[in-house]
């Protein structure tokens, strides 16, 4: 019977092509607007490392004291005014203590790369200075080779790991492990090449505008970057830096630790409190220093990665979808009532109300499918326009995946069928005697 109802629905849509097209367009506009907002929201609010997000933690230590952040800069900080990064002093103390299963201090910098092909011009690329634990801790996949060793960290070894994108550009995608690459004025050995890896949001570094930026193209030992004085990408100083930024109260080092159990988290939190108390006793702090320890999801919420504007955009877009569906409801009601004489004839010839109801619902479903598919096209156009809002992460934030496409079609069908229930009910309630005229 479904095939029969579908055939009748398609004939009805062709018979009233202008009205049918108008209904499909109305549904498509609503689906397109809502799916554009939903696709962006789902990526921004997603878990960037779902298998380990509850095991990865970043610590915070209050080294500013009661004075806190100066008023002009408070809008760049969260409500509790805790620094988002650590000082070099604190980061190295945590690294030496090695309380966590894995841990990595890190910071962002840049460096000039001289391609091995003399035909290519030197280029400036972003660098992540970190420790060897970074790669297994964040489950970074490798196309060739692997990370450097802990011994390389200790020895300040001139080794690097390349992104797949940079390896394709410099070495044509070939295995470059063991090759020598000039960075700045020094030679480095390639230890590995990362496969496609793009956590969104980029949870391990939310400083500045980097939440949705691409990962760095070069990774090198933190110890080597500090030794060679590669510049800090994000330096926050509210006190005198002194002669050496490494000995100052400037915060610029991100720090992540892997704590696989609840007991490990509890122990690390106690360690942080003890460390802050020891710093106070040493005279570095003259206030009860606050500490915090947050996992990946808590860190994203704490930093307002998904701001209220994006949430409001989703609500507004779905409100617009409701308005579009109400318009579609009115158009369907007009369409079905316009066919009341035809429906009355079918009823007089013995068609049951259930059959009329089923055919009308199938017709509404067909409109929903067509509107959902057309809405996908509008959503793609909307996401293309959104690339201007998120240029750093356009390839990730502004694309539809299979789940988004499925949601769009299901939403289109479900919403249209729900909107068509009342017009369908009215169509099934047509009384033949009221509509038929004897001539």
For the chain, the residue count is: 439
* b/e burial code for range 63-99 (CB count within 10 A of at least 16 → b): bbeeebbeeeeeeeeeeeebbbbbbbbbbbebbeeee
The residue ranges of every structural domain in the chain are 2-45+307-435, 56-302
Closest C-alpha among 96, 92, 102, 162 to residue 136:
102
User: How far is the CA of 144 from the CAs of 113, 191, 217, 425, in angstroms?
Assistant: 20, 9, 15, 63
Task: Count the helix, strand and coil residues of the chain and give each as a percent rounded to the nearest 5.
Answer: 50, 15, 35
pTM: 0.76
Give pLDDT, residue 394: 47
Could you tell me the two tokens for 185? 């004025």
Looking at the chain, the number of H-run helices and the number of E-run strands are: 16, 11
pLDDT tens digits for the chain (439 residues)?
556 556 666 666 676 777 778 888 888 888 888 888 877 777 777 788 988 999 999 999 998 877 766 766 665 567 778 888 999 999 999 999 999 999 999 999 999 999 998 888 999 999 999 999 999 999 999 999 999 999 999 999 999 999 999 999 999 999 999 999 999 999 999 999 999 898 888 899 988 666 677 789 999 999 999 999 998 888 888 766 566 888 888 899 999 999 999 999 999 999 999 999 999 998 888 888 889 999 999 999 898 887 666 778 788 888 888 888 788 777 777 766 666 556 566 555 555 666 666 666 777 778 777 887 888 788 877 777 666 555 555 455 555 666 667 777 777 777 777 766 666 666 556 555 555 554 4
**Beta strand 186-194 with 159-162: parallel, antiparallel or unpaired?**
parallel
Answer whether 220's CB lies under 8 Å from 53's CB. no
Angstrom distance (rounded) from CA 377 to CA 384? 11
- Alpha helices (H) along 45-199: 88-97, 134-137, 150-155, 164-171
């Amino acid at each position: 019977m479904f095939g029969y109802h579908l055939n009748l629905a398609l004939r009805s849509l062709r018979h009233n092509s202008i009205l049918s097209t108008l209904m499909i367009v109305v549904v498509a506009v609503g689906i397109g607007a809502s799916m554009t907002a939903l696709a962006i929201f789902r990526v921004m609010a997603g878990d960037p490392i779902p298998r380990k997000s509850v095991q990865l933690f970043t610590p915070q230590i209050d080294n500013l004291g009661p004075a806190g952040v100066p008023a002009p800069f408070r809008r760049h900080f969260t409500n509790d005014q805790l620094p988002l990064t650590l000082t070099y002093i604190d980061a190295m103390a945590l690294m030496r203590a090695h309380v966590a299963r894995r841990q990595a201090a890190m910071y962002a910098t840049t460096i000039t790369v001289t391609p091995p092909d003399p035909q290519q011009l030197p280029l400036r690329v972003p660098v992540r200075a970190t420790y060897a634990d970074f790669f297994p801790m964040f489950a970074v996949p490798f196309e060739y080779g692997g990370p450097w060793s802990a011994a390389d960290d200790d020895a300040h070894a001139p080794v690097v790991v390349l992104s797949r994108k940079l390896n394709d550009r410099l070495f044509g995608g070939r295995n470059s492990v063991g090759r020598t690459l000039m960075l700045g004025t020094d030679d480095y050995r390639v230890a590995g090449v990362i496969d496609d890896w793009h956590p969104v949001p980029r949870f391990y570094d939310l400083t500045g505008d980097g939440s949705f930026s691409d990962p760095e193209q070069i990774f090198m030992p933190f110890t080597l970057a500090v030794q060679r004085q590669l510049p800090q990408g994000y330096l926050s100083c509210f006190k005198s830096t002194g002669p050496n930024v490494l000995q100052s109260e400037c915060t610029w080092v991100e720090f992540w630790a892997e704590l696989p159990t609840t007991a490990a988290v509890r122990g690390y939190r106690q360690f942080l409190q003890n460390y802050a108390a020891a710093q106070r006793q040493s005279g570095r702090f003259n206030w009860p220093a606050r500490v915090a320890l947050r996992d990946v999801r808590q860190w994203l919420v704490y930093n307002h990665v998904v701001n209220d504007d994006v949430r409001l955009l989703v609500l507004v877009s779905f409100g617009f979808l409701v308005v579009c569906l109400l318009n579609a409801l009115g158009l369907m009601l007009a369409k079905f009532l316009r066919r009341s004489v035809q429906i009355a004839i079918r009823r007089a010839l013995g068609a049951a109300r259930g059959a009329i109801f089923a055919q009308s619902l199938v017709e509404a479903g067909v409109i929903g499918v067509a509107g959902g598919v057309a809405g996908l096209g509008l959503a793609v156009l909307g996401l293309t326009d959104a690339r201007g809002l998120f240029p750093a992460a356009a390839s990730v934030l502004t694309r539809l995946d299979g789940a988004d496409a499925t949601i769009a079609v299901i939403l289109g069908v479900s919403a249209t069928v729900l909107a068509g229930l009342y017009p369908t009910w009215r169509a099934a309630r047509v009384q033949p005697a009221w509509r038929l005229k004897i001539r």
